[in-house]
Amino acid sequence: MSPTLGSLATSFKDDPARLAGRGLFISGLPMSPDDLTLLRCPIDPRRESGLTRDRDRLCCDRCSTAFPIKNGLPILLADEAELPQGVSTRRELPCLRR
């Protein structure tokens, strides 16, 4: 069975420096569904939209905006986000048109 983020953190709890250099989203290290439930889309003002992993990025469950994962860390910044097809500005996203 592959380790999850939670089990990895527990195994390195006595030596945080070992964990720090590895990143939270190590390639090949699966995230458990519980780990992803903690994350929310930073563009959604109500922070209700969850994120789903799609290879090397996290995608908003509501509007499909994609956030890259670089060096094992998710970059949850609006300026780094890839807007879904057919959307040219963030103002057009469903979560901002309420």
Residue 23 sits in the same domain as residue 64: no
CB 81 within 8 A of CB 66: yes
68 and 48 together in one domain? yes
26 and 43, same domain (yes or no) = no
For residue 74, the model assigns a pLDDT of 86
pLDDT for position 80: 93
Mean pLDDT of the chain: 76
Whether residue 57 sits in one domain with residue 83 = yes
User: What are the residues facing 57 on neighbouring strands?
Assistant: 54, 68
The pLDDT of residue 70: 86
pLDDT in tens, 48-71: 899 998 888 999 999 999 999 888
Q: Which residue has the higher pLDDT, 29 or 38?
A: 38
Phi, psi at 83, each rounded to 5°: -70, 150
Q: Do 85 and 45 share a structural domain?
A: yes
Domain assignment of residue 96, given as a range: 39-98
Q: Are residues 26 and 73 located together in one domain of the fold?
A: no
pTM: 0.66
Q: Do 21 and 2 fall into the same domain?
A: yes
Same domain, 95 and 56: yes
| Element holding 73 (H helix, E strand) | strand 73-74
The total number of structural domains that make up the chain: 2
